Amino acid sequence: MKYLSLITWVTQLGFSILFPTCACLLLANWLQTKYGLGAWIVVVLGIFGLLTSISTTRSCVRSLIKAANAITDKKEEPPIAFNDHH
């Protein structure tokens, strides 16, 4: 069950990579056809979408690594030695 949460993180990672770029390009296409803007709007929103994808991917990877470390690391306290008790 613990590893199932990691699978959801991987799907979230894929969504974080694809969605911002696709959404910005669709918005640029709509703005270009609706208001007759030039090709510059596609370039500007395409670059913005790529930068947003990079940013969300970085934060998602950090969270994925943190979740994976929490599952695999078992931080058990070592037993108290004879000379270390109070």
User: What is the rounded distance in angstroms from the CA atom of residue 22 to the CA atom of residue 53?
Assistant: 10
Mean pLDDT in residue range 31-49:
96
Provide the 8-state DSSP code for 81.
P
Dmax over CA atoms of the chain, in Å, equals 80
Which SS3 state, helix, strand or coil, does residue 85 take?
Answer: coil
User: What is the rounded distance in angstroms from the CA atom of residue 21 to the CA atom of residue 51?
Assistant: 8
Q: Does residue 25 lie within any of the structural domains?
A: yes
Mean pLDDT value across the chain: 86
- What pLDDT is stored for residue 74 in this prediction? 66
Confidence label for 85 from pLDDT (cuts 50, 70 and 90): low
pLDDT of 34 > 90? The answer is yes
The answer for residues whose C-beta is within 8 angstroms of residue 22's C-beta and 6 or more apart is: 49
Q: What's the total number of domains in the chain?
A: 1
Q: Does residue 76 lie within any of the structural domains?
A: no
Stated pTM of the model: 0.73
Print burial letters for 30-57: b (CB count within 10 Å at least 16), e (below 16). eebeeeeeeeebbeebeebbeebbeebe
- What pLDDT is stored for residue 58 in this prediction? 94
Q: Does residue 80 lie within any of the structural domains?
A: no
- What pLDDT is stored for residue 41 in this prediction? 97
Q: Does residue 79 lie within any of the structural domains?
A: no
Question: Domain range spanning residue 55?
Answer: 2-71
